[in-house]
């Protein structure tokens, strides 16, 4: 368990003094389903219903600083937009080259704490970076991904997307597809989803890119889990196909994927078998595992999913601000 504050309940915190307020956003595991269902998702949905020009400004006068040790497009851009739409100003820096003589992460955070920033958005290249930053920071740290570790806001927007698309999460049959070994999106997502009731997971990956045993153990303690070697075999039995990028520059062994890549791709045959009410999610950017020529299929949800990220991040920022 993480030593971070965790909102446990939707009951107003004034009535539940033992429920700590949202302090940092570090790990998908810090959020429980009751808080998602009754606080975060309704807040995001309300923001999503509101015309942009009529949004409230709960972050007026606040300042967000982003510190990115790895490139990002979507995450930085959507947080910047989210903060700006709620009235905050945003600045930051990229620090993509890593040399031994670089400044320690903790020193950077301590210097930033000398300036009047209200939020630090951090993407780090090594697991645990966000927790290290939070340990010294005076202001909330938001984990925008730490290497092969966690990427909690991606997991939250993925879960929110299912909540919006299906109206519920309990009982969903979900195929996690592709490289499940080190993918932070699937790890974080699996942890979040495992809190719901009656989930059936299909883990669809090559042997060499299987989900890490500790994650599988966690899932098995809370849900039904089946390992599958070909998406086609179970396509007619799932509500959700969550497919991730097959060929990542991060892993040398990605090449072992090549021969069987077709087993882990959403092709016409998979779509033909998939129920009409199913949804295909992808965290983007995509590779050949989700061919653009199939984008017209209304079950392909990946762009709507990306758009949902804006509202989840707005909701998170407004909840962090309310707790300050």
Q: In the bound complex, what is the minimum distance in angstroms from residue 105's beta carbon to a second copy?
A: 11
Residues whose CB falls within 8 Å of the CB of residue 48, separated by 6 or more in sequence, listed in order: 308, 311
Q: Which is nearer to a second copy, 222 or 247 (CB)?
A: 247
Taking the mean position of all CA atoms in its chain, how far away is CA 136?
Answer: 24
Q: Which is nearer to a second copy, 131 or 215 (CB)?
A: 131
Q: Which is nearer to a second copy, 7 or 206 (CB)?
A: 206
CB atoms within 10 A of CB 44: 26
Q: What is the spatial distance between Cα 130 and Cα 105, in angstroms, rounded to a whole number?
A: 10
Residues in contact with a second copy by CB under 8 A are: 52-53, 61, 63, 65, 73-74, 76-78, 80-81, 84-85, 89-91, 93, 95, 99, 101-104, 106-108, 110-116, 247-249, 284-287, 292, 303-304, 306-307, 310
Q: In the bound complex, what is the minimum distance in angstroms from residue 170's beta carbon to a second copy?
A: 28
Question: 67: closest CA among 141, 153, 135?
Answer: 141
CB atoms within 10 A of CB 242: 28
Q: Which is nearer to a second copy, 138 or 224 (CB)?
A: 138
Q: Which is nearer to a second copy, 110 or 227 (CB)?
A: 110
Q: In the bound complex, what is the minimum distance in angstroms from residue 200's beta carbon to a second copy?
A: 30
Q: In the bound complex, what is the minimum distance in angstroms from residue 77's beta carbon to a second copy?
A: 6
Q: Which is nearer to a second copy, 108 or 218 (CB)?
A: 108
Are the beta carbons of 98 and 119 closer than 8 angstroms? no
Q: Which is nearer to a second copy, 7 or 178 (CB)?
A: 178
Q: In the bound complex, what is the minimum distance in angstroms from residue 302's beta carbon to a second copy?
A: 9
Q: In the bound complex, what is the minimum distance in angstroms from residue 29's beta carbon to a second copy?
A: 27
- Would you call the peptide bond into 78 cis, given omega within 30 degrees of 0 as the criterion? no
DSSP secondary structure letter of residue 25: B
Q: What is the spatial distance between Cα 288 and Cα 196, in angstroms, rounded to a whole number?
A: 31
Question: 316: closest CA among 95, 62, 23?
Answer: 23
Q: In the bound complex, what is the minimum distance in angstroms from residue 111's beta carbon to a second copy?
A: 5
Q: In the bound complex, what is the minimum distance in angstroms from residue 140's beta carbon to a second copy?
A: 17
Element containing residue 304 per DSSP (H, E): helix 302-323
Q: What is the spatial distance between Cα 109 and Cα 136, in angstroms, rounded to a whole number?
A: 7
DSSP secondary structure letter of residue 224: E
| Region class of 171: left (phi > 0), else alpha (psi between -120 and 50), else beta | left
Q: Which is nearer to a second copy, 130 or 310 (CB)?
A: 310
How deeply is 270 buried, as exposed, middle or buried, from its count of CB atoms within 10 A (0-12, 13-18, 19+)? buried
């Amino acid at each position: 368990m993480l030593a971070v504050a965790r909102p446990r309940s939707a009951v107003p915190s004034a009535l539940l003094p033992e429920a700590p307020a949202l302090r940092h956003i570090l790990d998908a595991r810090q959020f429980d389903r009751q808080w998602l269902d009754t606080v975060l998702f309704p807040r995001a949905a309300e923001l999503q219903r509101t015309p942009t020009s009529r949004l409230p400004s709960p972050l007026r006068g606040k300042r967000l600083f982003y510190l990115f040790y790895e490139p990002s497009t979507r995450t930085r851009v959507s947080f910047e937009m989210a903060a700006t739409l709620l009235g905050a100003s945003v600045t930051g820096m990229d620090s993509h080259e890593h040399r031994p003589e670089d400044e320690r992460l903790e020193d950077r955070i301590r210097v930033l704490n000398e300036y009047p920033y209200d939020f630090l958005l951090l993407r780090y290249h090594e697991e645990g970076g966000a927790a290290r930053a939070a340990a010294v920071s005076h202001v909330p740290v938001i984990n925008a991904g730490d290497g092969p570790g966690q990427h909690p806001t991606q997991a939250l927007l993925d879960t929110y997307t299912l909540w919006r698309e299906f109206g519920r999460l309990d009982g969903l049959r979900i195929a996690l597809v592709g490289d499940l070994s080190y993918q932070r999106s699937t790890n974080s997502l699996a942890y979040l989803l495992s809190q719901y009731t009656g989930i059936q997971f299909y883990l669809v990956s090559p042997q060499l890119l299987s989900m890490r045993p500790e994650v599988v153990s966690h899932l098995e303690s809370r849900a039904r889990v089946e390992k599958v070697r070909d998406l086609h075999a179970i396509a007619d039995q799932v509500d959700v196909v969550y497919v991730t990028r097959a060929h990542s520059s991060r892993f040398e062994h990605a090449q072992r994927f090549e021969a069987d890549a077709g087993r882990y791709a959403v092709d016409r045959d998979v779509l033909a078998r998939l129920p009409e009410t199913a949804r295909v999610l992808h965290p983007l950017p995509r590779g050949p595992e989700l061919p653009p020529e199939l984008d017209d299929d209304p079950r392909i949800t990946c762009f709507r999913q990306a758009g949902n990220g804006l509202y989840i991040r707005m909701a998170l920022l407004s909840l962090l601000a309310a707790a300050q």
